[in-house]
Structure 1
Amino acid sequence: MTNFLARYWKTLAAASASIGSSYLFRHCNESQDNHRVLSVLTLQAAQPERRNVKTWMTKHRYLEDENDEKDDEDEKTDRDRLESNDENVGNLREKRFREFGSVEYNGEIYMTPVDFLESLISDQPQPRIGRRHLTDETVCAMLSKTPTRQRGSNRFFRNLGEAGLISFWEYLFLCVILIKPASQIQIAFKMFDTDCDQLVGKHEFLVISKIITQKRLTSQKRSKHSSSKSKSTINTSSYYNLDRTEPADTSLLVHLFGKNGRDTLTYEDFKRFTENFQQEILEIEFNQFSHGFKAICDLDFTEMILRYTDLPDEIKRVIFRKVKQTTDGSNRITLDEFKRFSGFLKHLEDFNIAMRFHQLSNKPISQAEFQRAVKISVGFELDPHIIGLIFRIFDIDNDQHLSYDEFMGVMKDRLARGFRTRDLEKSTLSKFDQFKLCLREHGKQNTSA
């Protein structure tokens, strides 16, 4: 009991420290209305700590009950196994899922909707003590709160909060459709529609789940045989529940296919869900920087572009300094303009094709040519101020022309949110490395001046 109290008070102390230092509220002004609170997707810094203190207390109440000692040992064994498995996961996406996943159910790790949204806009998960173990009753209560597809909106994940479950394969699925244009969303729907009847049932939707599960199993088996240094291996058959004919219900499955799993999806249903989801994430990310205001400044937009790149901090500081020195503060970027820019990014490959034809002439890229390529590839124009800001970021020589390859590298990082696989090692010094070197030299010149 003494150890229990000591750990409890230690948890409260850690929670208090985290609440005071959370960067999510570094610009928050108490005078703003409730929208500013919602603008951080209910990721109030205090919530995860309060949640985990309460969860930890609930989970350890049985320490005072001698009749539950066996359950305690079983739970500790499961927790040790999962924590040990965390150290043996090689896939970056899976590592991130396990880092942010705060709950366990039937021996599997899940994200709550809050965990999922946090994983998309934060580098690290909020501090917590272990994962919350869910019972069948708790999961049933969660899923009962899931709205039907007819009541879907662009606040679906925010409204669910912690009352929901997202599996690993659903996390991968959502990350993929987040960055896809409408044309590729239609292709995704056709891939699910295995019997080509223009409808997707639950069993068809779960085909991809089985493929991902089998792929992960194969990868883990290969890792197990190739790594002789690892003392603990992942029990993949238990982790992925391969003996089960169908995965446990989740919030997404209930939302799309109903509580009995018998509903079917049309393409319009699938498209509407995807558009709502993409819009929700864009609003969350924008509000993270705007803090409830209707527009963001040039520095905020620059940070949003560079946040997923591997540029060193010193180079980012050079870029921020340059943007700050060339900004008069009169122009700001609204949510609609940010959405249009994000829509442009989803067509980045089409834009790249259009620009490559221009580059064949060996002429430098001007803002007019850039805007023309945007119009050709996506069918609309970007705000001239945004294009000017892009050129200020990537015009290293200050000659009013864009360093195109470097721009594309950073934009692909932005689109993939830091999970893009690179093939830059083929050259001794890639153009992206030259870009970073040029920026570093530019920073030295500014410092010496």
Structure 2
Amino acid sequence: MFLFGDALRKKVFFNYEKRLRLHSPPEKIFEYFATFQSADGEVLMKPSDLMRAVVPVFPPSESSLVRDGFLKGERSPGELRSAPSKFFDVANGGLISFKEYIFFVTLLAIPESCFSVAFKMFDTDNDREINRDEFKKVMALMRAHNRQGASHRNGRSRGLKANGSVEDGGSLDYFFGKGGKARLHHETFIQFMKDLHDEILRLEFAHYDYNSQGKISAKDFALSIIAAADSSYLNELFKRVERLNSDPHLSEVRITLEEFKQFAELRDKLRPFSFALSGYGKVNGFLTREDFKRVASHVCGVSLTDSVVEIIFNIFDKNRDGSLNIDEFVKVLHKQQRDIPQPVASGIMGFLSQYRK
């Protein structure tokens, strides 16, 4: 009975945190997930806090915690485990201020292609490099196109200490040097964006790898898959995930970071993958585990292990007849693009509108 109650509380707080990410001002989101306070009173995030603020994650199954953050006046959920991060140690000194949070959320929310377009807009001499002031204009344009970036108030509306303007936030010294005289090359910045996405993925895996074993349980891997599903649909999926512990084989399965990354790569190639799955399913009327692996490999160049495929089918083989429910699976993966608030305007016209402003 205790386990049921504990699982229920985890779901309640998980849904609360999803709503908070999607509908709250960035100051409130930052305050909720940030776990560090400097000697002068500035609230700061650890890298793991940033991951939790942008990625919907359940508390790991091996942890007794039922939530990840809290607001002033609320009871602390307990000590949160923070995985070390060489990426943020190098790029940002290991701690993240509110203005830097806005910077990283902006990078994570906007597609790489949009940044490339904006970068080229301000590269007037076409040498694939921009200076510090031009980069600040790129970031201002990107923030105007993102809900959190557009609605921030420098952290002052909720009493957070935000030293300096958000315009000077992020990794400007890292890109341009202390004097701000260096120039940023397009490829250098795009690689930084890719490394940032990879690091957030690694921190998500580390979140579920609660005992630092380098592997996570089948249940935790399944929780990471369903975390982005609509709240109205989550209860049904959660019941299927709970069944994994009663399966003698799957209860012993452990997923590695490499397997975790392979599934993330497949998610990033969802459009061709879902098209191939749907086409194959319509023609044959049945999609087996081997069919699924073959489509992933031949269409997307992603090799999935038997363990990963077995977990996927245990969640999305609704009728337990050995055939994947393609629509159900694709719908959840489509939603699994990070729960970062959507841009304030969509499409190329919205982007150009912000550029003209």
Quickly name the TM-score band, shorter chain normalised.
0.5 to 0.7
Select which of 220, 239, 243 maps to 1:300.
Answer: 220
Cα displacement string for residues 303-351 of structure 1 (whole angstroms, at most 9, x for unaligned residues): 1112222245642442123322334244311111111111221111221
Task: Report the equivalent of 2:141.
Answer: 211
Give the deviation of 1:293 after TM superposition. 0.8
Given the superposition, is the C-alpha separation of residues 99 and 341 from structure 1 closer, same or farther in structure 2, using an over 3 Å criterion? same
* Residues 97 and 171 in structure 1, CA contact (< 8 A), matched pair in contact too: no
In the alignment, which residue of structure 2 is the partner of 1:119?
Answer: 53
- Per-residue CA deviations over 1:266-301 (Å, capped at 9, x if unaligned) read 243123312322222122111111121121111111
Partner SS state of residue 365, structure 1: coil
Checking the alignment, whether the CA contact within 8 Å between 1:154 and 1:280 is kept in structure 2 is yes
SS at match of 1:166: helix
Q: Distance in 1 between matches of 2:167 and 2:104?
A: 15
**Greater shift after overlay, 288-297 or 112-121?**
112-121
What is the rounded CA distance, in whole Å, between the counterparts of 2:183 and 2:101 in structure 1? 22
TM-score by length of 1: 0.53
More contact order relative to length (CA 8 Å, sep ≥ 6): 2
Q: How far apart, in 1, do the equivalents of 2:46 and 2:108 lie?
A: 13
Among candidates 174, 179, 185, match of residue 260 of structure 1: 179
Contact 1:371/1:381 (CA < 8 Å) preserved in 2? yes
Higher alpha-carbon Rg: 1
Which residue number corresponds to residue 146 of structure 1? none
Letter in 1 for 2:128: Q
1:154 match: 87
What CA RMSD, in Å, does the superposition of the two structures yield over aligned residues?
4.1
Residue in 1 that maps onto 2:260 = 338
Query: One-letter code of the match for 2:188?
Result: D
Local SS of the residue matching 1:254 = helix
Measured after TM superposition, the shift of residue 371 of structure 1 is 1.5
Preserved contact between residue 193 and residue 204 of structure 1 (Cα < 8 Å): no
- Change in CA separation of 1:200 and 1:111 when aligned onto 2, cut-off 3 Å: farther
Please identify, of 339-348 and 251-260, the stretch whose mean Cα deviation from structure 2 is larger. Answer: 251-260
Name the CA distance, whole Å, in 1 between partners of 2:247 and 2:340: 28
On the 8 A contact 1:394/1:402 being kept in 2, the answer is yes
Displacement of 1:384 after TM fit?
Answer: 1.8
Give the Cα separation in 1 of the matches to 2:282 and 2:29.
45
Gaps of at least 5 residues in structure 1 are 1-22, 27-89, 104-108, 131-151, 222-233, 240-245, 422-449
- Name the CA distance, whole Å, in 1 between partners of 2:260 and 2:143: 36
2:229 aligns to what SS in structure 1? coil
Tell me which residue corresponds to 1:373: 295
C-alpha distance 399-96 of structure 1, shift in aligned 2 (>3 A)? farther
> Closer, same or farther in 2 for the Cα pair 1:412/1:216, shift >3 Å?
closer
Counterpart residue identity of residue 202, structure 2? E
The Cα shift of 1:393 comes to 0.5
TM-score by length of 2: 0.65
- 2:322 is matched with 400
Alignment of 1:162-177 (within 5 A): 162=95, 164-167=97-100, 169-176=102-109
SS at match of 2:87: coil
Match of 2:15? none
| Preserved contact between residue 202 and residue 253 of structure 1 (Cα < 8 Å) | yes
User: Sequence identity, in percent?
Assistant: 20
The match for 1:325 is 246
Moved more, 275-284 or 165-174: 165-174
Cα contact 2:316–2:328 (8 A) shared by 1: yes
Amino acid of the structure 2 residue aligned with 1:325: S
Question: Partner letter of residue 188 of structure 1?
Answer: F
Distance 1:308 1:160, change over 3 A: farther
Contact map agreement 1:413 1:419 (CA 8 A) in 2: no
